[in-house]
Chain A
Amino acid sequence: MARPRLGVFKLASCDGCQLTLLDCEDELLAVAGAVDIANFPEASRRIEPGPYDVALVEGSVTTPHDAERIQQIRAESRLLITIGACATAGGIQALRNLADVDTYVAQVYATPAYISTLATSTAIADHVKVDFELRGCPIDKGQLLELLTALLFGRQPTLPNHSVCLDCKLAGNVCVVVAHGTPCLGPVTHAGCGALCPGYTRGCFGCYGPSRGSNPTAQSDLLARQVPDESTIRRLWQGFTTADPVFAEQASRFTGGDGE
């Protein structure tokens, strides 16, 4: 692909994923030289109209305006790539899907009437066709560079969908489950972060969503042996990818606990 035109778009999100692009420090100039950054408000005031060869979309759909915009972005883009847990799974804000959004609005805003919002936060793929997704909260810089490089050279990106455990062992981390009894979603979570959290002796909280072909039911059974309180387990499944059907199904098994 000769100098593809790149657009970076944001819906409901925190900006962390697009900042990953600016965070590419060493490689940023090479990337900027290889692609034509036509629309990236976070980085430049120069905004050129579509069509775009590649659209990187961050954020989930939470307002009627978002729902319209994503159709427009899709129509203007040859390849649409979702980046981050919000865009690929609805994000942490999808916790609203389990509650009544009007109650939240009334609690948070002085004049609720000004707020126009949807009852749910949904992934981009629920609205338009997505060509590729980068998972994580936030996405991994190395994965983003790998994807962009693969696009430039017209090859398959190397972005495996195995579990975090494999990367954990590649990195030489000590397993927090075995050594410390810490709950960890690594066995069922999609790789990509390089097993970041276990590398800091923390359990994985599943921000990349489910890996391929793993066994979430067995993971829930293991958590139930590790953690007595059902609400703790439920919240573990209801994190950054709470709206993902695989994680949501496991969360629904744990109804006890503090009732929050």
Chain B
Amino acid sequence: MSRYRLDPHDLDRLLERLQEGGRVLIGPRLRDGAIVLDRIRSTADLPRGLTTVTAPGRQHLLDRADDALFGYEVGPDAAKRWLHPPRVELWRARKDEGGELFFEGTDEPPKYAFIGLRACDLAAIGIQDAVFLRPGITDPTYAARRADVRIVAVQCGASAATCFCASMGTGPRVDRGADLTLTEVLDGEPHFVVEVGSEEGEALIEGLPVKPVASTAPEEAAARAAAHQERQMPGDVRASLLNALESPAWDDVAARCLACGNCTLVCPTCFCTTVEDTTTLAGDAVHARRWDTCFDQGFTDLHGHAVREGVAQRYRQWLTHKLSTWHDQFDTSGCVGCGRCITWCPAGIDLVEEARRIGGSG
């Protein structure tokens, strides 16, 4: 893979390139005391000189001593928010004067480019691809957004206290799924090492002021990030959870779990939705889809009865699907080890710890 050096003040040229042809650029942004993913236009929109302090149920921002543009770990958002949007109107139906029914598709997805996604985010996109782009049962909403996307990833040089991508085999090294990968080098004269991962990536930097460089900064950054990771998903989790389906250990976590669903909503691979049919005052029927969560009791209603009435049953659904039965369904774990569900759980419930405790792995 060819490597180039990019000066920080030329990063805006790359951001402009990413937005050519009307692409909407999504990247990290400071909002309300957290780093979210949102529309950005230039490097002025990126969080500068900030880092994250992360723990189960906590993520605070602190100033860094330098001007790093990517010197923090993942926040609550993932690419899911754009590729599999929280709410999307799918179609409208109306009757004409003769009483004949007309259907009209109303989803008009923009083209996206992303900057700042991490190795776990790319792995998560890979999993959502496996979910939504299955031959014969492709989801058109996702496919339309995913098809022509551009991705500039960032190589992590540190891990949050909740990260465990190394044990899931998904990171921290960015080794697939990105058109370009940036490693931010802050020692000496600050610069980015740019790795090219695809033909589209090659086209993105063509004509930009980049110089070929021999650098091992990406590997060094990844090694530093991996060395930080203390959390490890037990290797036998797929089987151990299924052997513990009737364990009383589920009641213990259910006593602490708020059943708020935040874990599933921040999880970059969770995909569950519900459909909502409404009408406008003018009489148009509107068919929309929105995120839902298996932690909501109503989500489990079948013939007017909640199949998973208790919180223990709902927590068990989340953990066993994510870590066990996802393999049967999609030939992969549903977890990429990004740690978001741990960080953004208001109660600070740690899925790795629960998987260990409930599955009985040491």
Contact = CB atoms under 8 A, between A and B. Distances in A.
Given A155-B279, A165-B260, A175 B291 contact: no
Contacts of B346: 165, 175, 177-178, 184, 187, 222
Interface in A2-42: 27, 30-31, 34
A222 B256 CA distance: 8
A110 interface: no
A30 B297 contact: no
B278 A218 contact: no
B32 A166 contact: no
A217 B260 CA distance: 13
B278 A146 contact: yes
A31 B281 contact: yes
A88 B240 CA distance: 46
Contacts of A30: 281-282
A212 interface: yes
Contacts of B86: 169-172
B81 interface: yes
Given A187-B258, A219-B258, A178 B296 contact: no
Given A165-B260, A166-B265, A212-B298, A217 B278 contact: no
Q: Is the interface of A mostly helix, strand, loop or mixed?
A: helix
B10 to A, nearest CB: 31
A114 interface: no
B35 to A, nearest CB: 9
Contact of A166 (B278, B279, B291): B291
A178 B61 CA distance: 11
B259 A149 contact: no
B285 to A, nearest CB: 9
B283 A153 contact: yes
Contacts of A31: 281
A150 B277 CA distance: 10
Interface in A110-158: 145-146, 149-150, 152-153, 155, 158
Chain B CB within 10 A, most for which of A27, A145, A160: A160
Interface in A218-235: 218-219, 221-222
A174 interface: yes
A180 B281 contact: no
A186 interface: yes
A34 B283 CA distance: 11
Contacts of A27: 281
B136 to A, nearest CB: 30
B255 A217 contact: yes
B350 interface: no
Interface in A153-212: 153, 155, 158, 160-163, 165-166, 169-175, 177-181, 184, 186-188, 201, 212
B60 A163 contact: no
A167 to B, nearest CB: 10
Contacts of B254: 215
Contacts of A217: 255
A175 to B, nearest CB: 6
Nearest to B57: A178
A214 B309 CA distance: 10
B32 A179 contact: yes
Given A149-B280, A169-B266, A179 B296 contact: no
B53 to A, nearest CB: 11
B359 interface: no
B306 interface: yes
B347 interface: yes
Contacts of B76: 169, 174-175, 178
Contacts of B58: 178, 181
A213 interface: yes
A-B residue pairs, 6 tightest by C-beta: A213-B297, A187-B260, A169-B265, A187-B258, A165-B260, A177-B346
20 contacts: A162-B261, A162-B296, A165-B262, A166-B265, A172-B77, A172-B86, A173-B32, A174-B31, A174-B33, A175-B76, A178-B344, A184-B346, A186-B260, A201-B32, A213-B309, A215-B311, A218-B255, A218-B257, A218-B311, A222-B347
Interface of B: 31-34, 36, 38, 57-60, 76-77, 81, 86-87, 254-262, 265-266, 276-283, 290-293, 296-299, 306, 309, 311, 343-347
Given A34-B281, A162-B298, 12 more contacts: A153-B283, A162-B299, A163-B258, A169-B265, A178-B346, A179-B60, A187-B260, A212-B298, A213-B306, A215-B257, A215-B259, A218-B255
